[in-house]
Structure 1
Amino acid sequence: MDEAGVILAALMGISLAAASGFRVFLPPFLLSLSIRADFVEVDLVGTSFEFFETTPAIIILGVASMAEFAAYYVPWVDNLLDSIASPAAIMAGIGMTAIVMEGSDPVVQWVIAIIAGGGASATIQGATVATRGLSSTFTFGYANSLVATSENVASVALTIVALLAPLVAGVFSVAILVIMIKRIISNRQSSDS
């Protein structure tokens, strides 16, 4: 993979990782479909990620995506899901970044996957947990469906943009990360007061 390919793959992976901070299973599901349909050109044959484009993997990810979308609309279940989704989002972010960077230098692949991919998904997931917590506290969970809808839309939009235009998605992801980090910092400062 040439340098331009590595940069585009990294941007796609980091953007998909950020999208998995909103919803864990949708970005891997759409990525697996895209790889299977040869829309995203990644050769996984003979790699440890070969299973990712198989029919069982696609079915499992699709069912998990639908279940996750629906579960976030059930009051208080959404808060319980956050405890499971937080580590899962980080793993999904790392995995997708590593998958789309397959064929690049393994050191570069895994450094970017772990630091940037895992970091992007952890930051977004942390902000969504905080947002849902505030919503649950101040509205007794009644506004959580609005939070869930906005997260669903963000995950779908960012995933599609990441697959269609990785450069645009990279810029969009950085903007989202900056906003989320500022929100986390302001929440911490207001809670310290």
Structure 2
Amino acid sequence: METILSLCIGIGLSAACGFRVFVPLLVMSVASLTGLFEPMKGFEWLAMPSVCIGLTVATVCEIGAYYIPWVDNALDSISTPAAMIAGTLTTMAVSTGEMSPFASWAAAIIVGGGTASAVQLSTVAVRGLSTATTGGIANPLVSTTEWISALLISVLSFFVPVFVVIAGIILMIIGIRWIRRKKQENLNHSAV
């Protein structure tokens, strides 16, 4: 049961990494410093005050940079591999000692890195659509939604991890259905 809960926490945190790379790491660091979370062996550095300060600065810079026109789109090319790495690390940091190191790293790479990559690629698509349809005027709204989502998902992952995963699955199903419906509408319009 503990393994499933730690994977749910990891999935939530890695999904948050897909929205903003540093927000979940900062939340983990604050949780470590306040005693709400004990990182896996090898990730004790998250509980260092200097790391928390560094993550705070990185988070503020990352959030601020996404409000600068055209820089936000350029950041997406850097954020995609960074989100995968951060998703892998966050999932590994919450792993339990019940799994072997190989199984822990495999799960972290596949589940954590995969989840972060999927979320990050969807945010790239949304920002691209926003840029194409509004000339970037709506991008600050997209950016605000992303960092608030990263914060909420990160915090909720520690308190209601199973809910976060279930809600994520439901949202993914809704998103896939919406995309299919839009594709079908486009096919119907182009056939007319």
Aligned residues of 1:161 and 1:169 also touching (Cα < 8 A): yes
Q: Does 1:6 pair with 2:3?
A: yes
Deviation digits for residues 139-158 of structure 1 (CA, Å, limit 9, x no counterpart): 11001011111112211111
The alpha-carbon deviation at position 69 of structure 1 amounts to 1.1
Out of 176-185 and 73-82, give the one that drifted further. Answer: 176-185
Relative to structure 1, the CA distance from residue 36 to residue 188 in structure 2 (aligned partners, 3 Å threshold; closer, same or farther) is farther
Relative to structure 1, the CA distance from residue 159 to residue 114 in structure 2 (aligned partners, 3 Å threshold; closer, same or farther) is same
Partner of residue 106, structure 2: 111
Distance across 2 between alignment mates of 1:107 and 1:175 = 30
Q: Does 1:61 pair with 2:58?
A: no
Distance across 2 between alignment mates of 1:43 and 1:99 = 5
TM-score (norm 1): 0.87
Q: Does 1:84 pair with 2:81?
A: no
Distance across 1 between alignment mates of 2:85 and 2:174 = 22
Q: Does 1:159 pair with 2:166?
A: no
Equivalence map 1:35-54=2 (5 Å):
35-44=32-41, 47=42, 49-54=43-48
The alpha-carbon deviation at position 103 of structure 1 amounts to 1.9
Distance across 1 between alignment mates of 2:77 and 2:179 = 18
**Tell me, which stretches of 5 or more residues in structure 1 are unaligned?**
none
Larger radius of gyration: 2
Aligned with residue 29 of structure 1, among 26, 29, 37? 26
TM-score (norm 2): 0.87
The alpha-carbon deviation at position 184 of structure 1 amounts to 6.4
Out of 165-174 and 76-85, give the one that drifted further. Answer: 165-174
Distance across 2 between alignment mates of 1:16 and 1:180 = 20
Deviation digits for residues 93-120 of structure 1 (CA, Å, limit 9, x no counterpart): 0000000004231233112211111111
Partner of residue 130, structure 1: 125
Relative to structure 1, the CA distance from residue 157 to residue 18 in structure 2 (aligned partners, 3 Å threshold; closer, same or farther) is same
Counterpart residue type for residue 55 of structure 1: P
**Tell me, which stretches of 5 or more residues in structure 2 are unaligned?**
none
Partner of residue 90, structure 2: 96
Distance across 2 between alignment mates of 1:180 and 1:126 = 13
The alpha-carbon deviation at position 68 of structure 1 amounts to 1.0
Distance across 1 between alignment mates of 2:112 and 2:14 = 5
The alpha-carbon deviation at position 83 of structure 1 amounts to 0.7
RMSD of aligned alpha carbons: 2.1
Distance across 2 between alignment mates of 1:166 and 1:38 = 18
